[in-house]
Amino acid sequence: MVARAHLTVATGPVARATGLVAAVALTVSAVLALTAPSSGASALSSGPGGVGAKEAAVENASTGVLLWSRELNTERPMGSITKVMTALVVIRAGDLGRKITIPNAAVAYAREHDASSADLRAGDELTARQLLEGLMLPSGCDAAYVLAQAYGPGLSAFIAKMNATAKLMGLTWTHFANFDGLPWPTEHATYSTAANLLMLGRVAMRSAVFRGLVDQRSYRIAAGSGHHAYLWRNTDPLLGTYRGATGIKTGYTLAAGHCLLFEATRNGYSVIGVTLDSPGPGTTVNGADATRILNWAFGLPFT
């Protein structure tokens, strides 16, 4: 991956967009408006202690002021954090009440890749809104497949939409080779940076629909006409354990390591952060690095 020059604070508005995706650019322009750091900013250089992630960053979620970072602009795989863009593209396309039949190919895809899944049943009919729950909470690669196929239409067309949206958002160091963050066609084919993922997270969290998805610890669908029952639990290790945590998304592959895009709010103040390739055993993403970063950030003197 290519290492970029380290930045202290991201500046510069996203270019004005036209056409069907103008709303994306307008949203990004709004969230990129930065305010000057307070007089206590000189104390930020020490940063949080004990963070093991190879790349990490944290910023004021409202203003975009960068509080601390490590390898801010180094391109790395981010695993299922990719699904934040998948969800955002679907949400912006709308028609979330549309019913979609689960194809055999989606179930086979998740099994073939031994991927995290929502355990979807072929032939079940679910709404796009329900499939977004299956995408974001249990990190369902089968749900990602179904949504990409339906909203492309077709997988390749959907991936093209993801990259087009990234370009309009100014995510210049991000590329999507797939819709779920799995290591295909190569381990590093889908990649981003801490700086770009903070921006993506900030834009996504300004969608009421998206925010409503990721701050849930679980979601249940009762069995009904045309579908089985489903119970999905959120993979986010901070929800329910860290006071004020509101999401956002875990990610893991062997190459990416433990990854977490996260946001928390306390006393009316919100911070958003990301950790890429944090240490930890197994495939279940832990929140140790994120907890250290959040504790440090909420301990700063904000004015």
Query: What is the C-alpha to C-alpha distance for residues 190 and 299, in angstroms, rounded to an integer?
Result: 34
Residue 236 CA to residue 250 CA, distance in Å, equals: 6
In whole angstroms, what is the distance from residue 25 CA to residue 170 CA? 9
The question of whether 80 is a catalytic residue gets the answer yes
Amino acid (one-letter) located at 266: R
- Asked if 29 is an active-site residue, the reply is no
Residues linked to residue 263 through DSSP beta bridges, in sequence order? 247, 272
What own/partner pairs with CB < 8 Å and gap ≥ 24 does 22-29 have? 23/92, 24/92, 24/165, 24/168, 24/169, 24/203, 25/168, 25/169, 27/203, 27/206, 28/168, 28/169, 28/170, 28/199, 28/203
Catalytic residue among 80, 192, 270, 278: 80
Residue of 69, 116, 117, 139 marked active site: 139
Token output for 25:
């650019």
- Residue 161: active-site member: no
Question: Cα(85)–Cα(202) distance, rounded to whole angstroms?
Answer: 12
- Spot the catalytic one: 69, 83, 192, 249: 83
Contact 41, 22 (CB under 8 A): no
DSSP H or E run through 264 = strand 257-266
CB 247 within 8 A of CB 226: no
Catalytic residue ranges: 80, 83, 139
